[in-house]
């Protein structure tokens, strides 16, 4: 299949890996000849029909190309997985390939090169040439070298090649063994990272939704790797895993109230005042009551509030690790599901035109924007939207939040709180909706987008309502607040996950930075007889991991204790 270049300036968010922790293991295959200790669908040999064939030893994970330089051979799953069904709370997936060694000289491999990734859809579990990642299945993954797709790229469907900003690793570092991890999230952001290469992969980007999105592949996902070219070349696969990550956001407490506006007509407000913002298609905003009403003569009338000035959070509260914007709505639109293209938006804006009052200042136009959107035909219903500054109409990321609340629960009033942290994680919660929000995610900081640091020095609050037809819709905002967040005081250690593999138990936990913790084990719940199996000092982090390598008992109890 032909390849179309799709260059982007991409980089991995520096805090992404520290914010994500393995949650559910859906597949774990070790290629040690013992299928009894493997989890998930088995692997099979997949290859094209070019002379010389090639072989894949399923007991050892050794893949060998045939005698022709056009020979392709590799591994794929015998069945796909429905990630959403196996882990309904999953916000994405991570696939990791552990490579022991390869004899291939990576810059000289054949047309489709060395590929690690995922496949979905038609042919995903076939084992002939049609099932190769560059043919029938939907595919996404890392291509180390390829004449057809480019060197050192991420490929989507064999058609789009996403250039990676890091330089290509040396052939020798590939040959010595390495690990590649690829993650895809429910807002279509992807990341790729590695260990063991001379120049490690540390990149991120966004799937091209016109080809396929996360939701298109997540219910029918298989893993795939293949090598084409350099007759007789080998690649030795030690292990392949598929996990779903869980997001960990910083522990925080409220600190300083920067904005507290009650829309009661009294002079008891804190912070910059609010003003009407609209797109010139009618409508009104009553600043003394908080009532926003769209126009009745033109379609797509948009009207709302924004601050008359922005705030510099790091200057106002140097200890802040984040902020929380809260919107108390006593009466929402009567029919959220029937609103216009941009729906009902509650969030923050920053940068160009953030304090303007015309259509250019709407969150989908000039400002950088982040917030909750309900009833939007453009961005989706019940989503968090991150919009580029000056290019939001085409440069937006929508993170789905699950089943939308009913129109009636919006109409009856609700409260939404949005928090953003200096590690670029975010949370949203609500009260009063029949399906309350309780979600988290990560800002995308790739080219054209923004990080917490980019917006924290120039932030304003924003809410707008857009109708679809020339029939007025209204909402009543009772109160809007903006509060800084600071790190929570040190607390007792808390175990966040326990995983067992063979005779090894791995326990992850949170604690206080600088403290030293012991992992104690007992065969009785009262811990009358303790066995200390390890200790760790947290240095520059509040998360830790300890292992018990001798977990041979039928049952055991563990606890983390500070020294």
3-state secondary structure 36-97: HHCECCCEEEEECCCCCCEEEECCCCEEEECCCCCCEEEEEECCCECHHHHCCCCCEEEEEE
- More confident position, 458 or 108: 458
DSSP string of 2-29?
--EE--------TTHHHHEEEEEEEEEE
* Average pLDDT of the segment spanning 472-483: 96
- More confident position, 17 or 270: 270
Residue 172: per-residue pLDDT: 92
Residues 271 and 205 in one domain: no
Q: How confident is the model at residue 24 (pLDDT cuts 50, 70, 90)?
A: confident
Q: How confident is the model at residue 271 (pLDDT cuts 50, 70, 90)?
A: very high
Residues 101 and 233 in one domain: yes
- More confident position, 96 or 527: 96
* Average pLDDT of the segment spanning 111-128: 90
* Average pLDDT of the segment spanning 538-547: 84
**Comparing 35-44, 230-239, 454-463, 486-495, which segment has the lowest mean pLDDT?**
486-495
pLDDT digits (tens, 9 = 90+) for 367-419: 899 999 999 878 788 999 998 876 555 568 888 898 999 999 999 999 999 99
Rounded to an integer, what is the distance from CA 491 to the centroid of its chain?
28
Residues 558 and 539 in one domain: yes
The count of domains in the chain is 3
Residue 290's SS3 state is coil
Residues 257 and 375 in one domain: yes
Task: Determine the Cα–Cα distance for residues 183 and 96; give it in Å rounded to an integer.
Answer: 9
Residues 447 and 522 in one domain: no
Residues 306 and 211 in one domain: no
Residue 150: per-residue pLDDT: 76
pTM (2 d.p.): 0.75
Residue 394: per-residue pLDDT: 58
Residues 198 and 184 in one domain: yes
Residue 514: per-residue pLDDT: 82
> Which residue, 466, 487, 508, sits at the end of a domain?
487
Residues 236 and 368 in one domain: no
Contact, 467 vs 511, CB < 8 A? no
Residues 225 and 288 in one domain: no
Three-state SS for 338-390 is: HCCCCCEEEEEEECCCCCCCCHHHCCCCCCEEEEEEECECCCECCEEEEECCC
Residues 6+ apart with CB under 8 A from 336: 343, 344, 374, 375, 381, 404, 407, 410, 411
pLDDT(481) > 90: yes
Residue 159's SS3 state is coil
Residues 341 and 408 in one domain: yes
Q: Measure the CA angle with vertex 296, ends 292 and 298; round to 5°.
A: 110
Element (H, E) at 111: none
Task: Supply 381's token pair.
Answer: 């219903």
Tell me which range, 74-78, 263-267, 365-369, 398-402, is most confidently predicted by mean pLDDT. Answer: 74-78
Task: Determine the Cα–Cα distance for residues 535 and 558; give it in Å rounded to an integer.
Answer: 13
Tell me which range, 122-136, 491-505, 526-540, is most confidently predicted by mean pLDDT. Answer: 122-136
CATH code: domain of residue 256:
2.60.120.200
pLDDT digits (tens, 9 = 90+) for 315-335: 999 999 999 999 999 999 999
- Round the average pLDDT of the chain to a whole number and report it: 87
**Per residue in 543-558, is it b (16+ CB within 10 Å) or e — as a string?**
ebebbbeebeeeebeb
> Which residue, 465, 487, 509, sits at the end of a domain?
487
Instruction: Round to the nearest angstrom and report the end-to-end CA distance of the chain.
Output: 60
Residue 18: per-residue pLDDT: 45
Residue 16: per-residue pLDDT: 44
Residue 51: per-residue pLDDT: 58
> Which residue, 487, 515, 539, sits at the end of a domain?
487
Residues 316 and 441 in one domain: yes
Task: Determine the Cα–Cα distance for residues 461 and 370; give it in Å rounded to an integer.
Answer: 10
Task: Determine the Cα–Cα distance for residues 235 and 109; give it in Å rounded to an integer.
Answer: 12
Domain encompassing residue 500: 494-562
Residues 395 and 444 in one domain: yes
Residue where the block lists tokens 């799937």:
207
* Average pLDDT of the segment spanning 102-110: 83
């Amino acid at each position: 299949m032909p390849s179309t270049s799709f260059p982007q300036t991409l980089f991995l968010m520096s805090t992404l890996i520290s914010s994500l922790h393995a949650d559910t293991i859906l597949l774990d295959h070790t290629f040690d000849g013992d299928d009894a200790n493997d989890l998930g669908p088995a692997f099979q040999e997949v290859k094209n029909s070019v002379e010389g064939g090639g072989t894949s030893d399923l007991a050892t994970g050794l893949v060998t190309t045939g005698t022709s330089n056009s020979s392709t051979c590799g591994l794929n799953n015998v069945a796909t997985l429905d990630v959403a069904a196996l882990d309904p709370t999953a916000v994405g997936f991570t696939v990791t390939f552990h490579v022991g060694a390869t004899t291939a000289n990576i810059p000289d491999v054949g047309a489709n090169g060395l590929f690690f990734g995922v496949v979905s859809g038609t042919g995903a579990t076939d084992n002939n040439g049609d099932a190769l990642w560059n043919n029938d299945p939907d595919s996404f993954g890392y291509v180390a070298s390829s004449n057809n797709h480019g060197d050192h790229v991420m490929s989507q469907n064999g058609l789009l090649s996403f250039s990676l900003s890091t330089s290509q690793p040396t052939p020798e570092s590939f040959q010595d063994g390495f690990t590649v991890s690829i993650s895809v999230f429910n807002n279509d952001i992807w990341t790729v990272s590695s260990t063991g290469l001379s120049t490690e992969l540390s990149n991120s980007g966004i799937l091209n939704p016109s080809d396929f999105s996360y939701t298109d592949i997540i219910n029918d996902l298989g893993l795939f790797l293949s090598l084409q070219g350099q007759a007789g070349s080998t690649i030795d696969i030690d292990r392949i895993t598929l996990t779903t990550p869980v997001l960990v956001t910083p522990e925080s407490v409220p600190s300083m109230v920067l904005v507290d506006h009650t829309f009661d007509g009294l002079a008891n407000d804190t912070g910059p005042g609010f003003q009407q913002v609209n797109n010139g298609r009618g409508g009104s905003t009553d600043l003394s009551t908080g009532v926003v009403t769209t126009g009745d003569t033109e379609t797509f009338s948009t009207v709302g509030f924004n601050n008359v000035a922005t705030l510099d959070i790091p200057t106002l509260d140097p200890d802040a690790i984040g902020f929380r914007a809260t919107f108390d709505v006593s009466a929402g639109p009567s029919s959220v599901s029937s609103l216009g293209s941009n729906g009902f938006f509650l969030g923050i804006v920053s940068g160009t035109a953030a304090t303007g009052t015309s259509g250019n200042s709407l969150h989908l136009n000039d400002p950088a924007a982040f917030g909750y959107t309900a009833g939007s035909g453009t961005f989706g219903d019940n989503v968090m939207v991150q919009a580029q500054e000056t290019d939001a109409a085409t440069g937006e990321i929508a993170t789905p939040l699950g089943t939308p609340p009913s129109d009636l629960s919006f109409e009856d009033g609700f409260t939404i709180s949005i928090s953003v942290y200096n590690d670029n994680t975010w949370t949203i919660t609500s009260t009063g909706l029949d399906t309350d929000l309780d979600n988290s995610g990560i800002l995308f900081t790739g080219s054209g987008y923004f990080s917490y640091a980019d917006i924290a020095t120039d932030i304003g609050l924003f809410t707008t309502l857009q109708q679809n037809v020339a029939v007025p819709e209204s909402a009543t905002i009772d109160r809007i607040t903006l509060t800084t967040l600071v790190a929570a005081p040190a607390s007792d250690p808390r175990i966040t996950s326990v995983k067992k593999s063979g005779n090894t138990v791995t326990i992850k936990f949170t604690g206080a930075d600088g403290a030293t913790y012991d992992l104690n084990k007992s065969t009785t719940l009262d811990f009358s007889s303790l066995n200390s199996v390890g200790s760790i000092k947290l240095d520059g982090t509040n998360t830790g991991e300890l292992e018990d390598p001798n977990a041979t008992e039928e049952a055991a109890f563990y606890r983390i204790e500070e020294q």
